[in-house]
Amino acid sequence: AGVALEPHYLSHDDSAALDWLSRNATAKELVLASPTIGNLVPAWSDARVYWGHPFETLDAIQKRQRVVEFYGVGTSSEARCAFLRAAGVTMVYAGPVEMGLGGVSFEEHPGLEVLHRSGRVTIFKVVPCTTAQSGSS
């Protein structure tokens, strides 16, 4: 059985999170999400997306790769912080589709604060990354 690249339906959690974005995100927001969800955010809200559609995103191939790297396990917190800052991202969407890209939890990420939760979906606000290291590495 092959893995579907695009969902044929949205989970209840994704629908609730996108509904929250529709009520709370303005055109000033730049949302980072998986290619699948990034394609849906502009249809549900006024928010812009870092990557949303292969033919409507400038430098789509490079940007899609950066999205996959961001959600991947091999990327350091420092690299994620630098990317978010350079790209001007204001919100990060983390749900089952994004976790499927690498399984990384952003709960303890230094540059993200929880803004909204809908079940298995968390939308984070991007904040300045702290450079101080807590005793663990």
Residue-level pLDDT at 70: 96
Residue-level pLDDT at 46: 96
The DSSP secondary-structure symbol of 136 reads -
Residue-level pLDDT at 8: 60
Segments of the chain scoring below 70 in pLDDT: 1-8, 131-137
Judge whether 83 and 111 are in contact, CB under 8 Å.
no
Residue-level pLDDT at 54: 76
Over residues 92-112, the pLDDT tens digits come to 999 999 999 988 889 889 999
Task: Count CB neighbours of 130 within 10 A.
Answer: 11
* Strand order across the 121-126 sheet: 48-49, 30-32, 91-94, 121-126, 112-118
Please give the model's pTM, rounded to 2 decimal places. 0.87
